Structure 1
Amino acid sequence: MRLRIFTEPHRGADYSTLLTLAKAAEALGFDGFFRSDHYLSSGPVRELPGPTDAWITLAGLARETERIRLGTLVSPATFRFPGPLAVSVAQVDQMSGGRIEFGFGAGWFDGEHAAYGIPFPELRERFERYEEQLEIITGLWETPEGERYSFAGKHYTVTDSPALPKPAQRPRPPLLVGGFGTKRTPRLAARFADEFNVPFCDVPETAEAFGRVRKACAAAGREPASMVYSAAQVVCCGRDEAELARRAAAIGHQPADLRRRGLAGTPVEIAERIAEFAGIGTDTIYLQVLDLSDIDHLELLAELLPLTSRMS
């Protein structure tokens, strides 16, 4: 079982805070450090210090870390054009020495689009654009050097592109698709993704979503076991009930709610819950850490690493 730290910096965190947390996660032995890609908080309002751009942040972290995997969970297709996004991710992958993983979604939060002047099409069009972007980005990365890439779609056209630069990882960085959709999402995951992620669902719901993707893989002629299956869960850990209650209050939750819908309790309790996810075929857990100033929390979560290392 791979354990990765997952952050939500749009809730209030500048680059230096993320750098401190990323370096701590690397030093403690976590497999990855991921961040969301948002420009506005969808939770309790905290406007300061304001949003940070996901790929600018990851470019900085790429140069200031050495081992840990880095990525987004997830970048919305609505935020960027596919060609420049492929260039940015490839460059950050080069800067990291091949440690980038590209989480990519259709986009869902209309408020942040309105707040920063980003068009927000209706759902059908968002998925049309998302599928074309997946086609273009993977096509650009996978085109052999010296050859050209072209694409003609409903929303995007790419003409005679040199398809450069190339990422450090060949033919491309791992691509992650996630969500709850019952038809389009499994189909797109089966076609394009290396990893499928289910965010903030319980074990039975996660198992159902994994099952839909396994069926979509089989229907597409792909071996379902070739997919990495992952889950994201809010995490809140304490050595005792008092410490757990203090940490839960700091992120605006009750311990009972976190135990029911997330990963909460002592390291041993959380490891037992992670084992339930392992039992349905989960390969990777993204631990959503909401208080980014609490480095001691990260140190306590590191006690999960030996407890989960043999889970599969």
Structure 2
Amino acid sequence: MTRTEHTTHDIDVDAPADVVYAVIADARAWPRRFGPTLHVEHAELAAGVERLRIWAGANGEVAHWTSRRELDRGRRRIGFRQEVSSPPVASMAGEWQVRERPGGSTLVLTHEFTAVDDDPQGVDWITRATDRNSRTELGNIKQLAESWAELARLEFEFEDSVLVDAPLETVYGFLNEAAEWPTRLPHVARLDLREDTPGIQHMSMDTRTADGSEHTTESIRICFPGAGIAYKQLRTPSMMSAHTGRWSFAQTEHGVRVTSWHAVVLNPEAIPAVLGPDATIASARAFIRQAAGGNSRATLALAKRFAEERHG
């Protein structure tokens, strides 16, 4: 008989229960808010029901699963069950519950899971990954909820697009073949890429800025051929506490629209060291918009030229 394992983790949060619930409910923002989460694809199924495709770091690896969530805002509960799991997980389900308490709230996260073939090593792997990620997620939710007003100032998104008169697969190939970027993109000084699992790219890159300096980033990219490339920086420039993004492609009657989208969370403590003592949140946002957006626009322009010259 298959053995079901149970875990419970909880944390007290000095923030209203409704705020804590809001953090958990907004799954599309998880990659920039929660360390282990790399990418989330979201689809509404019905009122209060959604399907999530989630990629996350687990014990140094990238795990992927599909979950169904049922959201009960009135009771501040969110139940989840993996519809498609990745070995060694055979099944995984659980619940988030936010309880009011004097001066704040308590967040409880429960899991129940089974391992493939009840393998003891699989049970141990899942237990360790669940414990590590649960503790990380609860700590992150606490920090986010307790600084919710400030987060609105630190978190922002932006995007740039270009229209390419060439086949979609050609321009996708340019952005997918990141190992070639040092010879194709002037602002990339070095890039190391490994792809142990097809479509999951681990990238380390040195990027030149407009003033000639260089910074190193480390990212994981999740590639969807012909549709998009999502990424999360694991090592960010100092002014960012988080940076995620996506290259997306849309066929139009006038060509392929390629869009570079970024989501950034500022690290306010690093701003004076980079921009000077008089720098503000607004000036830091403008700086990152120009720096990161500038590199993306340069990449888009070169991708356009590469694809159109190849098929000109």
Task: Looking at secondary structure, tell me which structure has more helix per residue.
Answer: 1
Please tell me whether Structure 1 or Structure 2 has the larger radius of gyration of its CA atoms: 2
Query: Which TM-score bucket, shorter chain as reference?
Result: under 0.3
State the TM-score, normalized to the length of structure 1. Answer: 0.26
Task: Looking at secondary structure, tell me which structure has more strand per residue.
Answer: 2
